[in-house]
Amino acid sequence: MQIAVLGAGAWGTALALAFHGPHRVTLWGYEAEHVAELRAQRENRRYLPGVALPEDLEVTASIDEAAAEADLHLVVTPLIGLRATVRALQRVRPGTPLVWACKGLEAGSGRLPHEIVEEELGQDAPCGVLTGPSFAAEVARGQPTAITLASRDAAFVEHWLPVLHQPLLRVYANTDLVGAEIGGALKNVMAIAAGVSDGMGFGLNARAALITRGLAEIARLAVALGGRPETLMGLAGMGDLILTCTGDLSRNRRVGLALAQGKTLDVILRELGHVAEGVPTAREVAALAARHGVEMPLCEAVDALLHRGLSAAEAVDRLLARDPKHE
């Protein structure tokens, strides 16, 4: 099987390594200079240092070269690049099955990834999302990981599940595309909140409460949008949420830790050097929740902290001042 992995960041590189061997993999990066570095160094020192790229793993800056002969297009760009990449793939080889590993809500439109894909390719396009608790560095080093392949088309999932499933990268099937994507998008917002809590020294009790109430918020929105609550109890929901809120490799958690130190968002993102999808997603999810009448106080507090001038201490005070309610 020939797989084109579109996006040479940490996660794209990790997935290219995971699928290399059983399949022929070509890794595409949009920046020619970066691709030249990958080829010369056989290592992604910019985004995934310390992991060697096999000599027979092809790396290219030509999307035509990467995608033209592929049996599967796997898009692993940041969400901001999904729409343009899908358009380019449609030009190169229309109708090729598509899987994306992007998480978040599109800035400005609030679209989930599958809505972006449907706008570009139509509702009948063969496609799905790969999501779940997965740090790129661990996947790249062959550490055991379990993720979800979700699509509205059960036949699509059943066909591609055995192709993508690997001994150390276990892939589970799901047909709740909305629930899987909401879980992947909102866990990043909750991880920022968890980082703030930990950074302010509130302790493990507070973190556990935040994760639990955060999961309740995520499930409420998912159900309002047509998702299934049980999806949020699995890998794409609770699994991804726990990992991102507690793991030191989490970029979004690191954003929250830095906010608790009083750093500005501009400084934090510059020092991070990677995309933290929870930052733009917080604004969009607050707007989406308001449109659907879903109460999401944690997401609203993170949005206010990131985009509306609220300090970390004020955000905490606002949450602690809420009236007691039934769980």
| Burial class of 31 by CB neighbour count within 10 A (0 to 12, 13 to 18, 19+) | exposed
Query: What is the tens place of the pLDDT at every residue in 151-187?
Result: 999 999 999 999 999 999 999 999 999 999 999 999 9
Residues 164 and 59 in one domain: yes
Cα-trace Rg, the chain: 19
Query: What is the tens place of the pLDDT at every residue in 285-321?
Result: 999 999 999 999 999 999 999 999 989 888 888 888 7
Q: What angle do CA 171, 133, 170 make, to 5 degrees?
A: 20
The least confident of 231-245, 275-289, 311-325 is 311-325
Residues 162 and 189 in one domain: no
Active site residue 263: no
Residues 150 and 219 in one domain: no
Residue 196 has pLDDT above 80, yes or no: yes
Q: What angle do CA 135, 140, 142 make, to 5 degrees?
A: 100
CATH number, position 97? 3.40.50.720
The catalytically annotated residue of 103, 187, 263, 325 is: 187
Confidence band for 78, pLDDT divided at 50, 70 and 90: very high
Q: Is residue 41 part of a domain?
A: yes
pTM over 0.75: yes
* pLDDT of amino acid 103: 96
Q: Is 21 helix (H, G, I), strand (E, B) or coil?
A: coil
Q: Is residue 109 part of a domain?
A: yes
* pLDDT of amino acid 281: 96
Look at the alpha carbons of 196, 197, 202, 203 in this order and tell me if their dihedral is positive or negative. negative
Residue at which a domain ends, from 142, 175, 208: 175
Confidence band for 84, pLDDT divided at 50, 70 and 90: very high
- Which domain covers residue 192, as residue numbers? 180-320
Residue 197 has pLDDT above 80, yes or no: yes
CATH number, position 194? 1.10.1040.10
Torsion angle, alpha carbons of 134, 137, 139, 140, to 10: 150
Q: Is residue 327 part of a domain?
A: no
Q: Determine contact, residues 77/9, Cβ cutoff 8 Å.
A: yes
Percent residues over pLDDT 70 in the chain? 100
Residue 323 has pLDDT above 80, yes or no: no
* pLDDT of amino acid 247: 96
Residue at which a domain ends, from 175, 209, 231: 175
Residue at which a domain ends, from 125, 154, 175: 175
For residues 105-125, give the mean pLDDT: 96
For residues 78-100, give the mean pLDDT: 97
* pLDDT of amino acid 326: 78
**What's the rounded Cα separation, in Å, for the pair 238 and 105?**
19
Q: 88-104 burial, b for 16+ CB within 10 Å, e for fewer?
A: bbbebeeebbbbbbbbb
